[in-house]
Chain A
Amino acid sequence: MRFVRRLLAPRPAGLLRTREENRMDNRSPRGAAPAAAGAPHLRAGSATHVGRVRTHNEDVLLTFTSELQGDAALDAFGLFILADGMGGHQSGEVASSLAVRTVAREVLEHVYTPYLIHGRPGTTQTPLAEALTQAVDEASKMVYNNVPGGGTTLTCLLVVNERAVIAHVGDSRAYVYHDGLLRQITKDHSYVDKLVEMGQLTAEEAAVHPQKNVLYRAVGQEGLLEVDTHVETIPRRGRLLLCSDGLWGMLSDEEIARIVSHAATAQAACNQLVDAANEAGGRDNITAIVVEVYA
């Protein structure tokens, strides 16, 4: 990095030194600029429950948060993954667990470890959405090769400071809550949802539709998998929610918004969401992850 800098005061051009003399130290992160004040911190809660009807839990969740504080602070980093396995004969949880472990391994290896090594985002880093997509692709290959007939939804959230990058396949969901509004970020890859999107079914009809569980995309399917990606900002005084269909299928958006906004902590929000879904019948496994950012 050859950088000749003139700081603050105007100086006669003749004083400009040679490039060699003025190389900025490439090893120091961010050059001489101090890290922005009020660097954000991450807080997350999570809960999973078998529900009141099923005998075993095919949902899997993973949370990972990291902070390096001090004068040479690193960006707050978080990885949150939720998978809802399918396939019966107990291969459901095998698929979801394998998928989650694979994504976490890939992201930590290709994104987080290089960050620890260099102390700053690499100058030739893979874009986060691509890194997540590649991790989901890898998970899909692993499930296809190792869990015959098994499949899983997979919703992955990677957070750097308040920037959230989401990769998603299936009908688990990501929502963002802010300022009284709960907005669904992800799109369900279900036939019924596609029909709702096109105005051919109402949300009420979809909720009781016999084919509401049929997915047209799942991790572990044969061949190319198209992964949806989304970039969001986690708002201050807002929360981001990942959940399986055992949660959103049992509770209305209003109910989810009420709990997410009122709960004292992210963990309390998750506990209350699971309790509410169970009270509503708990027909499927219930999983929730809530992430928030504070200064």
Chain B
Amino acid sequence: MASVAALLLLWELGARAGVVYELAFPAPTAIAAEVAALVGGIDFWRHLGATLARTSLGAVLGGAPALLAGLAMGWSSRVRAALDPIVAAIHPLPKIAVLPLLMVIFGIGETSKVIAIALGASFPILLNAAAGVRQISPLHFDVVRSYGGSRRKLFTRVVLPGALPFVLTGLRLSLNVALLISIAVELVASPTGLGRLIWLSWETLRVERLYAVLVVLSALGVAINLALGRLARRLAPWQPSIAA
């Protein structure tokens, strides 16, 4: 904390004294004032709402089926054998690169953007869920089997809780990717969203505003991580280490 404060103070003094290049590095107080002005305007909330809406919609549409597919891949070697080649083929592709193709297929509206986000958000949670199931000790499956537990009980008592810490890590990465792709599609092809706001600020060279949007974005990231940490402590109280 102290080092951050010291850095900000140096920056502020440097900007005021004209030592630092003020166009690229406006004074922190100027940025703070811009943040205040930004969140005071109605336009900002429209952009923020658009980003949050497509990020969460994409994360849910991509994440939910990916979670199920990942758990199934971890649990069943047959499902793994069937889906592994598809995953291996699509996963390495930078998802933002397919946006133009998606726009050809689905039009330039919201659909193509949400699909790009969903596609990107699906892989981290899929891969983590599959790995999460596979690292469960076979002994825990034996415990449930030895009492004649059904497949449903194997799922609810072993597969799901056993993979949960990995799933939560996957969820965190998926949300990160979802936000990343949201901003990226907004930079290139959207009339709304924080990415659009960044691009507008660049085109009009409003550097304070560029910084202000970045401040908002990092606050958003911190808030998401805090919420996920809280969720992890609630869902997986036996695993204090992952809450961090």
User: Is B truly associated with A?
Assistant: no
Q: Hey, which bits of chain B sit against chain A, CB under 8 A?
A: none
